[in-house]
Amino acid sequence: MKFTCEKNALAREISFAQEVIASKNALSIMSNVLLDARAGSLSLKATDIKVSFETSLPVDTGEEGVVTVFCDKLSGILASIPEGDIALEEDDAKVIVKPTFKKVRFQLKTIAGERFPELPQAENGITFSLPARDLKEMIAQTIFAVSDDETRYFMNGVFFENAEEGLALVATDGRRLSYVKRAFETTVPTFKGVIVPPKILSLIQKHAPDEGSIEVAVTEKSIFFRFGTYRISSLLIEGQFPNYQKVIPETQKNRMLVRRLDWLDSLKRVSIFVEQKSRRTIITLSDGVMVISSEENEIGTAREEIPCRYEGPKVVLALNYRYLEEPLKVMDCEYVVVEFTEPNRAITISPEPSSDYFHIVMPMQVE
């Protein structure tokens, strides 16, 4: 195998591949990126077994061939050399990397391409296409709520399911839940709801462009996304996503309106004093005023008042500030509405005017 290409173009793809690869063990094929040069094109493959990545870019092919190299080091090499053309050449179980304009050469040991695992293919899947911007927005509204508790593995991903003619994304860690539902110009075909691990969704958020569309394919075990030259896939999480519908309050007694950034900024300030393990923050509502405060500890306290639109009995809520901060950060509205019934029942946070998403948060006990 031998090819020449522009360094930055290759570096971009190699760094994407490196994000997919989890292993840093130089002796494992799983740490390697597969390079396949043929007919003026270089295709790359990387996988951590669960998430797989494929792309291609145009190169000057000198000699066709397939080889795998330690991705971490290749990425390091590419980052260290200046812009310009570089040549990669396979030579007896090594790949020689050299810029065409500098007297430096790197030798990387290789592992034969045949030993690289077969990547899953989207055969017999249900396929549809979504506007990239919509999918990225929907991921942003939900991904932070995914549980990282491995004993609740069925909550370790974002649930994708049909919602009327469109698509709903739901994520929960058992204490809060985020939901977004959107319809598109074309109807989403019926598929059985799937739990998608957050890693692939983060990759989409980071690498997919805002314009254009993303092709989606869902099979029994995997989900596939295609945008630009990229094809990425992930194994789905097996298991039953919880019956989330029943924890979404249908009606709430009380309603409070507040400017989103006022609340977010004051939470950030008060959080300096909030106990970092429980992140317990006290929200006190009375006519027209919201007080955000920390519980007193050996260091001190913080308390801030902000105006809000609320008419009702004085209420004290205890909440994990992260469960407020995370949704408030990604909501795209000037005002948010908080609805609640009792201090120990789930609260609903939604944009005003209402949109196609909302967040549910379970409070902590008020002692």
Partner 1 sequence: MLFHVDLDAFFASVERLDDPSLAGKPVIVGAAPGRRGVVCTCSYEAREFGVHSAMPISEAYRRCPQGVFLPVRMRRYVELSGRVMEIFSRFTPDVRPMSIDEAFLDMTGTRRLWGPPAEAAVKLKTCVFEETGLTISVGVAHNAYAAKIASGLRKPDGLYVVEEGQEEEFALSLPLSKLWGAGEKTQERFRQLGIVSVAQLASLGEAQIASLFGNAAGRFLHAAAHGRDPGILGPDSGRRSLSAETTFERDTAHRETILDVLMGLAEEISFRLWDSDYRSRTLALKLRFDDFSTISRRATRPAPYLSSAEVFGDAVEILDRAWDGRRKVRLLGLGFGDLTARTDGAQGELFADGSEKIRRAESAAFEIERDGKGRLTRARLLGKEGRDRRRPGGDAGIR
Binding residues vs partner 1 (CB under 8 A): 149-152, 172, 174-177, 242, 247, 275, 277-278, 280, 295, 318, 320, 344, 346, 360, 362-365, 367
Assess contact for 329 and 264: CB atoms under 8 A.
yes
| Residue indicated by tokens 């899947």 | 125
Beta strand 176-182 pairing with 357-361? antiparallel
Tell me phi and psi for residue 150, to 5 degrees: -65, -20
- Quick one: which H or E segment has residue 13? helix 7-20
Give least dist CB 348 to partner 1, A: 12
Give least dist CB 79 to partner 1, A: 37
Nearer to partner 1, 251 or 365 (CB): 365
Give least dist CB 266 to partner 1, A: 21
CA distance 209 to 228: 8
CA distance 198 to 177: 15
184: buried, middle or exposed (CB in 10 Å: 19+, 13-18, 0-12)? Answer: middle
Nearer to partner 1, 65 or 242 (CB): 242
Tell me phi and psi for residue 55, to 5 degrees: -155, 175
Give least dist CB 271 to partner 1, A: 15
Helix (H, G, I), strand (E, B) or coil at 175: coil
Nearer to partner 1, 319 or 331 (CB): 319
Give least dist CB 291 to partner 1, A: 19
Nearer to partner 1, 123 or 250 (CB): 250
Nearer to partner 1, 99 or 197 (CB): 197
Cα R_g (the chain), whole angstroms: 25
Helix (H, G, I), strand (E, B) or coil at 229: coil
DSSP, res 364: B
Nearer to partner 1, 102 or 345 (CB): 345
Nearer to partner 1, 216 or 302 (CB): 302
Give least dist CB 337 to partner 1, A: 20
* Residue 68 tokens, joined: 């795998």
Give least dist CB 236 to partner 1, A: 21
